[in-house]
Structure 1
Amino acid sequence: MLQMFNITFYLNARLESPTVGCQSFGAKKTLKVAPESEEPQAYFEPVVKLDEIEVTTGEEEEEVLFKQRAKVFCYRETLLDKGTGKKSWCERGVGDVRFLKHKEHQKIRMLMRQEKTHKILINHLVESRTELTPNMGSDRAWVFSCYDFAEGVVETQVFALRFGNSDNAQKFKEMHDTAKANNKKLEEAGAGADAADTSAGDDAAKALETLDVKKEE
C-alpha cells in the first residue's frame, strides 16, 4: 500500500511540475518573440574634407552636329610586334562617334570616346584631304587616314569605323563630307586673311622706307 502511494505521489508531482518538457493536449503554447535587432547608426566624421571640383571636358564651347554609335579599329603594331613593322587591325573601342562644331572659330572636329570610361579614342579636326573608303567592300564600315591627337601627341593613324547598319554608315559619310567642306572654306578664308595682312604689312614697310628717305634729304 505504501509503495502504491509513493508511485501515485511521484506521478502527480511530475504532472504538476512546471519543468516538465511535455504539454497536455489542448494547452495553449506561448511563443517568445525575440526583440528586433537594431541597426547600427554609427557615423564617422571624415578626416579630410574635399572640395567639389567642376570637371570640364573641353566640349563646353562646341555644338554636337552628329552622334552615332560605332566600333573603331586601328591599323598598327601590336605589343608583340612592336618594332617589327608588322601591323594588323586592332579593336580600339566602342562608343559614340560625334562631329563637334566650335561656337567661336566654327571648325568641326571628330571626337569618339569609349562608352562608360569616356576615354578618348578619336580626336582630330576633319581635314579637306581626308577620304573615306569602304572597308573590304562593306557598306557599313569606312577606312580613313588622318593626323590624330587621341593619345596626347599628333600621330598619323589609320582608322576603320564600323556601324550597326548601312544607313548609319551613309549618314556618317554625309556628315563627314559636310565637315570637310566647312573646314576647307574656313582654311581658305584664313589663308586669304593672312595674305591680306602680309600685303598690308608690305605697304606699311614701304611707307616707312619712303619716310626715312625724306628725312635724310
Structure 2
Amino acid sequence: MDDDKNDYNPEEEVVTGNWNTPKVELKEVEIKTGEEDESLFWSGRSKLYRWVEGEWKERGLGESKLLLHKKKGIIRFLLRQEKTLKVVANHYIYPNESYCKLVPNAGSEKIYAWTVKDFAEEPKIEQFALKFNTADAAKLFKQKFDEAGQVNLKLLDSQGNLKEKVEEKKDDDKKEKKDDNSDNNKKTKEDEEEKKDKVEKDEKKKEDEKENVKKDVKEDDEEKDKDDKTKDDDTSKDEKEKEVEQKEDVKEKEEKEKEKDDKRSDDKKSDEEENIKRED
C-alpha cells in the first residue's frame, strides 16, 4: 500500500474536461395508422379468436372497429391488440353465402363467428369468432356488421374486390393497351417513313447515276468532237502546207525556166554580137 502511495502522481490525474451531457434534439415524427381517411362507423371492446388446427385460439383483445372510408364509402373491419397495437384482423365486409355471414357460436349470444378473406398479414381465408362482454353489445355488433355489408354490396364486385380499383385496373389496362397501340402505330409510322426515305434515296441514287451517265456521255462526245476537230485541224494544216510546198515548187520551176530563158536570150544575144563582129 505504501508503494502505491509513493507511485501516485497528482499531475497524471484528470481534473479538467467537459462533463456535460450533450443535448440531443428530437424531432417529432408523425405516425400514421392508415385510419386518417376513415370515420368510425361502430366500435366495441371485444376478444377475437381464430380457428386453427381444429380449435379456437385467441388472436387478440382490443377495440373492434367498423371504419367508413370518407371518399370511397367502403367499410372495413379492423382489430388491433390493445397492448402491441398489432393488426390481427383487417378486411372488407362482403356478405354472401360463403363470406361475412354472422352466426352465433356454440349457442352463445355473446359470440358471433364468420368466414372471410383477411388481409391482416397476407391474403388468406380465415374463420373468426368475436366475443363480447354482453349479449346486447354482440347484438349491436351484428346489426352494424350487416348494415356495413349492405353498404359494401354496392361498392364491391362479385369477387369481393373494390369496383373502383377494378375500374382503375381496367383503365390502366386500356391505357396500357392504348400506349401499346400507340407505340405500334408509332413504330409502323416510323417504318413507313424509313421505307419512304429508302425509296426516295434509291430513286435519287438512280437519278444521280443517270445524270452521271449523261455527263460521261457528254464528256465523251466533247472529247470526240475535240479529237475530230484536232484531226481536222491537222489535216487542214497538212493540206495547207502541201499547197504551200506545191506553190513553192511551181515558183521554183518558173524561176528556173526564167533563168534558162534568160540564159538562152543572153546566149542568143552574145551569138548575134559575135556574128556582127565577124561580118565587120
TM-score (ref. length: structure 2): 0.48
- Which residue does 1:141 correspond to in 2? 111
**In structure 1, what is the Cα distance between the partners aligned to 2:93 and 2:156?**
12
Alignment pair present for 1:154 and 2:123: yes
**In structure 2, what is the Cα distance between the partners aligned to 1:76 and 1:43?**
56
Instruction: Kindly provide the CA deviation profile for residues 155-183 of structure 1, in whole angstroms up to 9, marking residues without a partner as x.
Output: 11111100001000000000000000000
Correspondence 1:108-147 to 2 at 5 A: 108-129=75-96, 130-147=100-117
Query: RMSD across aligned C-alpha pairs, in angstroms?
Result: 2.5
What SS class does the counterpart of residue 181 from structure 1 fall into? helix
By percentage of residues, which structure has more helix?
Answer: 2
Q: CA deviation at 1:119?
A: 1.0
Correspondence 1:4-153 to 2 at 5 A: 44-46=21-23, 49-77=25-53, 87-129=54-96, 130-151=100-121, 153=122
Instruction: Kindly provide the CA deviation profile for residues 80-138 of structure 1, in whole angstroms up to 9, marking residues without a partner as x.
Output: xxxxxxx3211111101000000111000000111132111111011122200110110
Runs of 4+ residues deviating >6 angstroms = none
Correspondence 1:186-201 to 2 at 5 A: 186-187=155-156, 190=163
Cα 1:101–1:43 change in 2 (3 A) is farther
**In structure 1, what is the Cα distance between the partners aligned to 2:136 and 2:88?**
23
Give the aligned residue type for 2:120.
Answer: A
Give the aligned residue type for 2:34.
Answer: G
Give the aligned residue type for 1:45.
Answer: P
**In structure 2, what is the Cα distance between the partners aligned to 1:120 and 1:108?**
16
Cα 1:105–1:88 change in 2 (3 A) is same
Alignment pair present for 1:180 and 2:157: no
Aligned length: 144
Give the aligned residue type for 1:58.
Answer: G
**In structure 2, what is the Cα distance between the partners aligned to 1:58 and 1:187?**
20
The farther-off stretch of 115-124 and 173-182 is: 115-124
Give the aligned residue type for 1:44.
Answer: T
Q: CA deviation at 1:186?
A: 1.9
- Which residue does 2:136 correspond to in 1? 167
Q: Which has the higher contact order (CA 8 A, sep 6+)?
A: 1
By percentage of residues, which structure has more strand?
Answer: 1
Percentage of pairs with the same residue? 37
What SS class does the counterpart of residue 186 from structure 1 fall into? coil
**In structure 2, what is the Cα distance between the partners aligned to 1:180 and 1:143?**
15
Give the aligned residue type for 2:51.
Answer: Y
2:49–2:129 contact (8 Å) kept in structure 1: yes
- Which residue does 2:271 correspond to in 1? none
Cα 1:95–1:43 change in 2 (3 A) is farther
**In structure 1, what is the Cα distance between the partners aligned to 2:140 and 2:20?**
55
- Which residue does 2:209 correspond to in 1? none
What SS class does the counterpart of residue 187 from structure 1 fall into? coil
Which structure has the larger Rg over C-alpha atoms? 2
